[in-house]
Chain A
Amino acid sequence: MIITPPILARLVLIVFLSVLVQLGFFSQVPLLGSVANLIPVVIVALGLLGGAVTGAVAGFAAGLLIDVMIGGTMGVASLSLLTTGYLAGRWREGYDIVSSLVPPLLTGALCGVAALTYGLLQLTLGIEAQISALALREVIVQALLGTLLAIPVYPLVRRLLRPALVDDTARSRSRVSPTVLGRGGLRLSAMNTSRSR
């Protein structure tokens, strides 16, 4: 991802709006005995599109914002979300997204990781309390809801950040570029790219 000032503004806006929508909507609509969490879904999308650093920084910022807005222990949500964003980014840097199923499934898994990390951090900070088996259900439900939310959210975030995405820019250029040697021949853009290298 190429981060320019306008793209940075979009990233800030995406994180800020996702926190507002989470608190104003998703937190107040019970679903499957829990509430859907939009924020890790957005952070995973940013990590997948922008890489580990973008994911980690976005996660850290979103976590700070949540802790300020809900009055939580500062740093807990940040640590949980930066882990999520970083892992998503590292996955993207190591592997290609070969199927459209990959982002939702990966988001689901990482939402489960985020819920688990958050819970474990809270447990280390709180008073001694019994843990119900329902806590495990919460992690599974969060993973499931994350998977479902990622289906519309990932393409939406990708669309918003399209001008900054190297893959998408190259693809859209190659789509309109003229070819030599007829159909299936060399693309001028490809030639130009190889020359510039």
Chain B
Amino acid sequence: MYRKQVRRRRAILVLLVVACLMLISISVSEADSGPLKSVQDGLSSVLSPVQEGADRALKPLRDMVDWFDETFEARGENEELHDQVATLQQEKLDLLDAAEDAGYLKTLEKLVAENGLESYQRVEASVLNRNFSVWYSTIVIDAGSSDGIGANDPVVTADGLIGRVASVTGGTAKVALITQQGNGVTGRIAGEGPVGLIVPVIGAPDELDFTLIQGDKEIEDGDEIVTAGFSTGEVKSRFPPNIPIGEVSEAIPAEQEQRQQVSVKPFADIADLDLVTVLTGGTS
């Protein structure tokens, strides 16, 4: 009896592990329009209203946690700092008011105009939910193919590039962030500088590496990095050129020489995304 149970348990375990490995293998090797991907997208679109409902239902709980967080933070301040904090808070409020006046859309308008992205349709969307493990950074937004969004469309905030649309359903889209392991973006130093590849740093969600640098010009701290948007025959970058990505935070000459790599801090606050814009269509 016991042996039979053990055999049954082993059989189930082997079956599940084989199923997982098959899923991984198919998922990695098949194209974006493959059957497994289609099933995944179909199930996702079926489940997205439930997910959306749960998200709304749990919002008061999240707000409560935020409230506690802010309250505890406020209690932790000592009396000596109260005056200073009051001044800083006033300044912060002024800045927030100013930012509100300027508005997300206005800032975005500036980003679009400055970087020649006028040919793209812009779809504004709110973040529905996010998965910010250091291994896997994705967000789900409340706009999808019915809004004109397609797979691989670039996603930006008013500060700069945050990722690309990984998959899309009728009313939602999943965005693979530039900090997600597995993503790479061809970038260049603004102003026709060296070209390279922007890759994530595993374990540090607010840090990127600019690597495989091609070009002789030395890179310095503070240099701005934008998307390169290359196009060679049939091969074309997923991102249009000139979208700001981040600035060089640490450029050690020896490391540049040996590993052709510098550290980059993304412009967008990727850990705190609320409103994003998808650039669809476009001709460049």
> Which A residues have a C-beta under 8 Å from some C-beta of B?
20-21, 23-25, 27-30, 34-35, 37, 52-53, 56-57, 60, 63, 67-76, 78-79, 82, 86, 115, 118-119, 121-123, 125-138
Q: Are B167 and A125 within 8 A (Cβ)?
A: no
Q: Are A69 and B44 within 8 A (Cβ)?
A: yes
Q: Does B253 contact A (CB under 8 A)?
A: no
Interface centre among A34, A69, A127, A133 (most CB of B within 10 A): A69
Q: Are B135 and A122 within 8 A (Cβ)?
A: yes
Chain B nearest CB, measured from A77 CB (Å): 9
Q: Are B9 and A53 within 8 A (Cβ)?
A: yes
Q: Are A71 and B51 within 8 A (Cβ)?
A: no
Chain B nearest CB, measured from A165 CB (Å): 18
Q: Are B202 and A27 within 8 A (Cβ)?
A: no
Q: Are A75 and B20 within 8 A (Cβ)?
A: yes
Contact of A122 with B181 at beta-carbon distance under 8 Å, contacts A74-B27, A132-B204 already known: yes
Q: Are B203 and A137 within 8 A (Cβ)?
A: yes
Q: Are B202 and A131 within 8 A (Cβ)?
A: yes
Q: Are B133 and A138 within 8 A (Cβ)?
A: yes
Say which one of B53-61, B98-106, B111-119 lies at the interface with A: B53-61
Q: Are A132 and B207 within 8 A (Cβ)?
A: yes
> Which B residues have a C-beta under 8 Å from some C-beta of A?
8-9, 12-13, 16-17, 19-28, 36, 40, 43-44, 47, 50-51, 54-55, 57-58, 61-62, 65, 129-136, 138, 140, 166-167, 174, 176, 181-184, 199-204, 207, 209, 261, 271
Chain A residue contacts of B65, Cβ below 8 A: 29
Q: Are B129 and A127 within 8 A (Cβ)?
A: no
Contact of A123 with B16 at beta-carbon distance under 8 Å, contacts A67-B40, A74-B23 already known: no
CA A25 – CA B176 in complex, angstroms?
20
Q: Are B130 and A28 within 8 A (Cβ)?
A: yes
CA A57 – CA B14 in complex, angstroms?
11
Chain B residue contacts of A126, Cβ below 8 A: 181-182
A134 (CB) vs chain B CBs: closest residue: B203
CA A22 – CA B116 in complex, angstroms?
40
Q: Are B174 and A70 within 8 A (Cβ)?
A: yes
Chain B nearest CB, measured from A132 CB (Å): 4
8 Å CB contact of A134 from B8, B57, B134, B209: B134
Interface centre among A70, A121, A132 (most CB of B within 10 A): A70
CA A75 – CA B23 in complex, angstroms?
5
Chain B residue contacts of A131, Cβ below 8 A: 201-203
Known A21-B54, A34-B133, A73-B27; further 15 A-B contacts with Cβ < 8 A: A20-B54, A27-B129, A28-B130, A30-B132, A52-B9, A53-B8, A67-B40, A71-B166, A74-B40, A119-B135, A122-B136, A127-B182, A128-B199, A129-B199, A138-B133
Chain B residue contacts of A138, Cβ below 8 A: 133-135, 203
Q: Are A23 and B24 within 8 A (Cβ)?
A: no
Q: Are B54 and A73 within 8 A (Cβ)?
A: no
Chain B residue contacts of A132, Cβ below 8 A: 201-204, 207
CA A123 – CA B22 in complex, angstroms?
18
Q: Are A127 and B207 within 8 A (Cβ)?
A: no
